[in-house]
Amino acid sequence: MARIVTLTPNPAVDITYTVDRQVLGETVRVRDVQRRPGGKGINVARVARALGRDVTTVHPLGGDSGRWIERALHADGIPARYCAIAGETRSTVAVVDGISHPTMLSEPGPALTDAEWEALLTMVAGCSGPGDWVVVAGSFSPGTDGLRLDRLISAVRRRGARVLVDTSGPLLRTAADAGADVVKANENEVQDVVGSGDTSHALARLGGAGSRVVMSRGAQGLLLREPDGAVFERTAVPDVAGNPTGAGDAATAGLVAALTDGHDVDTALAWAAVLGAAAVLHPVAGEIDAARIPDLCARIGLPPAMSPLPTHPERTSP
C-alpha cells in the first residue's frame, strides 16, 4: 500500500480556547482549553490515519514545546519522525466562540540552519518511495528560500514519490515551478501569488509549469485545474456549521487518500469536501467527526461504497 508522508516545516503546539464571546480589548474568560500537536502537515497526517491510511509525519522539533509534541504524537499512535533543531517550537492559539470566525494567533517559529534543513530533506526523502505521496503543508520557518523547497521536491521526485504542496506566498509559486504534482491553496492565496483577481487566469498561471492546482473556496467548495487546462469543480457539503479551523487540512487528507487509492479526480474532490465538512463539525482543529461521514457522503451523492472510511480495520493499528 502506498504511504502518505507529511512534512510540517513549521510545527506548533496548537491551543484552542473556547470562550462565550470574543471581545477585543477586554478580559475574556476561557471555558475550555485544548492542546494538540499542530501544523498543517500534522493535521493532514492525523486525518489520513483516521481514514486507515499508512502515514508517517516528519517535522523539525526543538525545546520543551518540541518534546511535548513528540510525546503527544507518540501517545496518539501517530508514526512520527523528527529532526532536532536548536530553536524552540512555536505555539498557535485559536479563540473560538461559535459566533464569530475564530481568532488565530500564530507565532513565527524558529529559523532553521542549512544543516537542520538538510537533515530534514534527507529524512523526508528517506521515508518516501515509488507511488507514495509526500504532503508538504503549512508555513515555512522564517528565512526559508525557494531553493530549499526546490531541492526538497527534486529529492522526493527522484525517489519516485509524488508531491503535494499546500502553502502560500512566493513558496507556493516556487512549488508549482519546481514540478510539484499538486499545489493547493485557498482562492485569495492563489490570486495573490500570481497577481490576478481572475480565478481562471490565476489557476492557469499557477499551473503553467505542469502542476495540478487545487483551490479551496470555503463554503463554495473546491476547484481543480489539470495541466491540460481542464477544470473540475466540487461544491461544499451543504448545511454544515462549526469550527472551520483545520478544515482545509482535512480536505487535503481526503484528496490525497483518494489519489493514493487510485481514484479519479471527481472522487478525490468529493472526499476532500466530505473530510473538510467532517472537520468543521469537530470542535478541535486537526480532528474529524468520523461518525458523520456516511451522512456527509449522502448529502453530496457519494455512494456508500465510495466512502473514504477504512474498509480494512487492520490499517488503523499503530
Q: Mean pLDDT lowest for which of 82-86, 218-222, 275-279?
A: 218-222
Q: What is the pLDDT of residues 117-154, one digit of tens each?
A: 999 999 999 999 999 999 999 999 999 999 999 999 99
Question: Model-level pTM?
Answer: 0.90
Q: Mean pLDDT lowest for which of 62-66, 125-129, 281-285?
A: 281-285
- Residue 315: predicted pLDDT: 39
Q: How many domains does the chain have?
A: 1
Under the phi-then-psi rule, with left for phi > 0, alpha for psi from -120 to 50, and beta for the rest, what region is 25? left
- Residue 316: predicted pLDDT: 38
- CA–CA gap between residue 309 and residue 108 (Å, rounded): 35
Give the three-class secondary structure for 176. Answer: helix
315: in domain: no
> Would you please indicate which residues are annotated as catalytic (active-site) residues?
249
Q: Could you tell me if 76 and 38 are in contact, meaning their C-beta atoms sit under 8 angstroms apart?
A: no
Q: How many CB atoms lie under 10 A from the CB of residue 53? A: 23
56: in domain: yes
**Confidence class of residue 219 from pLDDT cuts 50, 70 and 90?**
confident
246: in domain: yes
Q: What is the pLDDT of residues 229-254, one digit of tens each?
A: 999 999 888 888 887 778 899 999 99
Residue 305 predicted with pLDDT over 90: no
For the residues 262-280, what does the mean pLDDT come to? Answer: 93
Q: Could you tell me if 185 and 167 are in contact, meaning their C-beta atoms sit under 8 angstroms apart?
A: yes
Q: How many CB atoms lie under 10 A from the CB of residue 50? A: 23
16: in domain: yes
Q: What is the pLDDT of residues 67-100, one digit of tens each?
A: 999 999 999 999 999 999 999 999 999 898 888 8
Report residue 99 as a C-alpha cell: 459566533
CATH of the domain at 259: 3.40.1190.20
Q: What is the pLDDT of residues 156-196, one digit of tens each?
A: 999 999 999 999 999 999 999 999 999 999 999 999 998 88
- CA–CA gap between residue 62 and residue 269 (Å, rounded): 36
Sign, CA dihedral 246-273-77-118, equals negative
Average per-residue pLDDT for the chain: 91
Q: What is the pLDDT of residues 253-265, one digit of tens each?
A: 999 999 999 999 9
In the chain, where do the E strands start and end? 4-7, 12-19, 30-38, 55-61, 80-84, 90-96, 103-106, 133-137, 162-166, 182-186, 212-216, 222-225, 231-234
Q: What is the pLDDT of residues 17-43, one digit of tens each?
A: 999 999 989 999 999 998 989 999 999
292: in domain: yes
Shortest CA distance to 214 belongs to which of 158, 262, 275, 172?
172
- Residue 16: predicted pLDDT: 87
- CA–CA gap between residue 69 and residue 195 (Å, rounded): 37
168: in domain: yes
| Domain region containing 230 | 4-23+30-306
